[in-house]
Structure formats: structure tokens, C-alpha cells
Amino acid sequence: MKRPKRWKICNPDEHQVEAMMAQYGLSRPTAMVLVNRGISLEEVPDFINPRLSKLSDPFKLRDCLKAVERIWRAIHNGEKILIFGDFDTDGITATVLLNWVLRENGAKVKVFLPLRMEDGYGLSVSALQKFEGDVDVVITVDCGITSIEGAAWLREKGIDLIITDHHEPGEVLPDAYAIINPKLEEYNDSYWYLSGVGVCFKLCHGFLKYGREKGLGGWRPELREGMDLVTLGTVADIVPLLGENRSLVRYGMKVLQTRHRPGIHALCEICGLSEQLSTEDIAFRLAPRINAAGRMGDAVEALELLQARSVIEAHELAAKLEQLNQKRQAQEELVYQAVKAYIEERELWRRNLIVAWDRDWHPGVLGIVAARIAQEYNRPTIVLTGISGEELSGSGRGVFNCNMIELLEPCRHLLLRYGGHPMAVGLALREENIEQFIETVEAAIVDSGQNLTHSIAVLEIEGVLSLAELTEKWFRERELLQPFGHKNPMPCFMFRNVSAGKIAQAGTSSTRGVLFDEENRRIEFIFFGTKPHEMPPQPWDISAIPDINSYGGVERPQLRILDVRTSLG
């Protein structure tokens, strides 16, 4: 049985809804969603039709011009450039994108993706030492903003460092030649939320633009052809699909649909994906397989897949990623069950923060497990394992209205390192400090006036609809609201006093059937994770996502139920 949820039902201003319907000819559900998203009447055209032509000038980002000039100088002088990436989808796609752009313009480039077990995260000195004497410029993608020691080592060796990153900066910045990170700017809802590959795209855009304006080159490649990479990394990293991210992903999805990249084509075949791809396909099918390389082996295999030129090579690499993903799934389930047992034995669900650790847990799956536990218990969750010596390291995941970076701030003196986003962090500390760390965070939460022990998951609902409002027009307009993802979720509505005739079990733990209302309007439904006998007495009030079910070449409207209650009339 699913845990209870608190329904947070929006009540959009009806005057704004009606004005939007009248001015743009939109259906009521679409207008409700736009009002709830904070879109004004004037902003509607740009929201439903985001355009690349409205992307901001890349040189508005601090140090972008300085970085671009240094890269062109390196190319002119024949200097060796090292692209230092990361082992997740965001970092891998950024590495592939930058490598492609620089090589097409004559740069001498090497790429490096760290091994999770050996090199750890970020610009480590041990990893950089592998290139001592063989590199003149280092460019990071999706990492580096907290790599103080690595930057100092490069400065000592006389190697220029250009950092491109989107993670939260610390109080002290690395001693780098140039740092490009939107988080160093004043808040700007246009590019503040860029992913690692999104920041890399801005650098590439600036690089090509500068080269053309100065007569240095930059006439190739066609950067739009690489926007499938930008979309993969942006969606996979679960950054808000707002501002420029919305424009990049909307256009990038079109490029991704073409599957012009042999590696993407092969991976889609392995996943059994239909021709029409969605952001959900990226998040739950493609990205996990790309991530599996870095989690269970060497991220270079995923990089080679995305750079593959032949179909044969691509299929061989895709098959390897599929095997690694199966290993990842097995390890994830083992660690997940172990963490669950750890929590229940110690009654950690009574605390504001769940911290679980064991030196035998596989480090490659800690982030996924932490996310599952956080969702299940509705608590911020940190899962740690032992890497070397007395050090523990791992990942943390947040919940609604809980900023993980702020949560760790009071105990930064106990951490060897930490960083990330409000909803996802990586951290390391000495085993001897674990209890003090837990007590410090718990005390900080209590002092802030929060009590997460009594919190339940929040289900955000756009408003109340009738089945009659789920028209063909609405389902067509639903496409205009895409891409869906973080901060722009699939619209969920409440439907009151509906019933179902015959219902049946779907798979091992879900329910399907046909809903009807008091006027006998009907629509199919699916309710994942709940069996028929677990459904409450009818009639129901339901919260559900209106969706299109594609099966066997036939498309039919359906409601994807997220929660259900017995209707009170």
C-alpha cells in the first residue's frame, strides 16, 4: 500500500484563467497550468513556443570571454588541452560536446573521465598527476567549482585552468584562470538553472561566435546538431526545465528524435523505445544506462557510445551498457533492502534526517538508493559507504522544501568535502565524526523550527477538473506545455466523485480499468503500485495525470492515477 500524501490543490485566479483562454484560445486546463506556473499573459507565447533565438549572449556569463580567448590562443599555439569531465550523464554529454567542437576547430584535445572508485569526484590531484608534463590547458565540465587543491596544483605547475560547472560554489573559489558558473552571477531565471552540459553549451556557443567574428574559425560544427547531448544531460541531471533549459530541451528533443547519433539509435533499440521519445524516456530509460558505465565500471564506455561513428560499434557498446545497467539494478536492490533493514532496526524514521552507512555497500548506487529512501519515508536521506581508510563518502537526497546544501552548512567543519544542489549532494567525512555529524544536523533542523518527523509527501495538484474537460483540444495543447521535468511537472488534476466498473490487476502490483462520472463520461485509468484489493470504497476523488497511452500502434487517452480517496460527496 502506498503511503498517504497531502493534496495541495492550487486555486488559480479565474480572472487570469479566463483572460488567457480568451486571448490565446486555450482550453481551461491549459490556462490553469500556465497561471499556476506563474506565466503572465505577455509571457504565454514564449512559454508555449520557446525559441533558440532568444537565448542570452554567452558572454554575459562571467569569464566566458576570457575562457574563449584562451582556448583560441591554445589552438593557435598548438597547446595541448585536457577536458576533465565527470562520470554521470551530464558530465559525459558535456565532455562529448566540448571535445567535438574543439576538435572540429583544430584543437589538440585529450579527454578524461574519472573512475568513481579510484579517482573519486572532481578535479583531484591524483587524477591530474596522470597528465603532468603533457597538458597546457585544463577545461573542466560539470565539476571543479570546489576543487581547491586540484586548482592549486595546476597553478603551481603553470597550467591554466578553465572551470565550467553549475554546482553550488563554496566560500572560497579555486585559483583558476577562468570560472564559468551561473551560480556566481546575480540570480537570473534565464540561465541560473543550467546543467553542466548547459554551461558547456554556452562556452561552445561563445567559442564559435568569437571565432567567426575574429576570423579565427568557428564555422563548424553546426552546434544545433549537438543539442541532443544538451537535452540528455539536462534532463538526466534533474535541473529545472525553466528559462533557457526549456528552450534547449524543447529544441534538443527534436534533434534526439532523429537519432542521427549511432550510439543513441543503438541505445533506443536496446531499450525498446518507440519513435516518439519523451523526457521520461531520457530520465528512466536512456540516462540510467549511460550512468551505469560510471556507476559500475568506466564512464569512458558511455563516452565512446555517444561518439561512435559506426552502427556495429554502437550496438556493441550499447549491449555493454545494458549489461552494466542490469548489474546496477541488482546492486541497487541489494543496497536498498539493506538500507531499509538498517532504518527499521534503528527506527531512524523517527528522526528528521535519515543517515545510513555500511562499508560494504556499493558506492555506485548510493545516490539512487538515497533518492528511493527519501521518497518512501519523506525524509532527507544520506547513504554512505567506506572508500579508503577511515573515510566515509556517499550521497544525500532532499525532499519537498528541504535544501540539502543548507542542511549540511552547520556541520561543514565535520566534513572533508561536500557539494551539489539543493536536492542532491555528495559528501565525505571521517567515520569518527559520523555521530556528531548526525546530532549537529538534527539540532540544526530543530533550531530552525522544522519538524520533518510528522511530514508526509505533498502531491501538487493544478486544480479541479471534470472528465468533460479532457477534450482533444486539451490533449493537443498538452504538447505545448512540454518538455516536462523538474519544476515543470506533468499536470496533475483532481477529479471528484468518479467510479469504476470492473477493475483488474495490471502486472504484479498495479490496477487498471475504466472510470466514469455522474454523467457517464468515461476514460481508462492505470494506478501503478496499488493492487485492486487495496483500492478504497467507491465513489472516489482522485488525483491523476491526463496522459496518452500508446500501445500496439493505437493511442488512447487515459488517467494515470497518483492517489485516490473515497469521495465525501
- Any bridge partners for residue 558, and if so which? 524, 547
Give the C-alpha separation, 228 to 222, whole Å. 12
Architecture label for domain 347-455: Roll (3.10)
pLDDT(26) > 80: yes
Domain boundaries, the chain: 5-45+459-566, 55-220, 347-455
pLDDT digits (tens, 9 = 90+) for 389-441: 789 999 999 887 778 888 888 888 999 888 888 888 888 899 999 999 999 98
Q: What is the model's pLDDT at position 456? A: 77
Q: In 102-223, which ranges are E strands?
A: 108-112, 137-141, 160-164, 178-180
Q: Got the DSSP string for 327-372? A: HHHHHHHHHHHHHHHHHHHHTGGGSSSEEEE-TTS-GGGHHHHHHH
Give the C-alpha separation, 491 to 33, whole Å. 7
- Secondary structure (3-state) at 431: helix
Are 242 and 487 spatial neighbours (Cβ–Cβ below 8 Å)?
yes
CATH number, domain 5-45+459-566: 2.40.50.460
Q: Which residues contact 330 (CB under 8 A, 6 or more apart)?
A: none
Q: What is the model's pLDDT at position 449? A: 67
Radius of gyration of the chain (CA): 25
Q: In 107-194, which ranges are E strands?
A: 108-112, 137-141, 160-164, 178-180
Taking the CA atoms of residue 129, residue 135, residue 138 and residue 140 in that order, the dihedral angle to the nearest 10 degrees is: -60
Number of residues that make up the chain: 569
| Residue 66: closest CA among 152, 177, 164, 186 | 177
Give the C-alpha separation, 287 to 284, whole Å. 7
Give the C-alpha separation, 129 to 153, whole Å. 9
pLDDT digits (tens, 9 = 90+) for 514-557: 999 999 999 999 999 999 999 999 999 999 999 988 877 788 99
Q: What is the model's pLDDT at position 497? A: 95
What mean pLDDT value characterizes the chain?
Answer: 92
Highest averaged pLDDT of the listed ranges 115-124, 365-374, 408-417: 365-374
Helix (H) or strand (E) holding 540: strand 540-551
pLDDT(39) > 50: yes
- Any bridge partners for residue 445, and if so which? none
Pick the CATH number of 55-220 from 1.10.1740.10, 3.40.50.300, 3.90.1640.30, 3.40.50.620: 3.90.1640.30
- Secondary structure (3-state) at 399: coil
Q: Got the DSSP string for 454-517? A: G--EEEEE--EE-GGG--HHHHHHHHHHPSPBTTBPPP-EEEEEEEEEEEEEETTTEEEEEEE-
| Residue 507: closest CA among 533, 537, 530 | 530
pLDDT digits (tens, 9 = 90+) for 212-233: 999 999 999 999 999 999 999 9
Give the C-alpha separation, 492 to 561, whole Å. 9
pLDDT digits (tens, 9 = 90+) for 232-291: 999 999 899 999 999 999 999 999 999 999 999 999 999 998 888 999 999 999 999 999
| Residue 451: closest CA among 374, 527, 380, 501 | 380
